[in-house]
Amino acid sequence: MGYVEDFGTGIPKLFKYCKEYTGYEPIIEDENTFKFILKHNFYPQKTISNQVTDQVTLKQAILEYCTVERSLVEIIQRFGYSSRVHFKNKILNPLIEKGLITPTQPDRPNSPTQKYYTVIKEDNIK
């Protein structure tokens, strides 16, 4: 209760905190029916540039995570993927083909003990 009491009440607080936390002021209509409309940007639309940025960020995060040897399961779990096939085909294999990540057993790509690590090159250091 103390936290709620410190937070305060009233329309001025409503406008202040809605603007502060959502970026928009609320719309209050009191006609035949009372309406409270709150815009938000919690789930922004993904644009192509956002998706590309997300992919670059993901790949960079994977490179940073794999500075020590990691199994495919560890990498998938860390980044929230459920499909090994999709992750391996769309994310991991392109990194391997570019020479950014290497398997510990390149001659046995499907080995259950296979792990992956980031290749450190001068070109890769930012």
The architecture CATH gives domain 48-124: Orthogonal Bundle (1.10)
Residue 77 clears pLDDT 60, i.e. is over it? yes
pLDDT at 125: 47
In which region does residue 10 sit, left (phi positive, over 0), alpha (psi from -120 to 50) or beta (all else)?
left
What are the residue ranges spanned by the domains of the chain? 2-37, 48-124
Q: What is the pTM of this model?
A: 0.54
For residue 43, the 8-state DSSP code is S
pLDDT at 80: 84
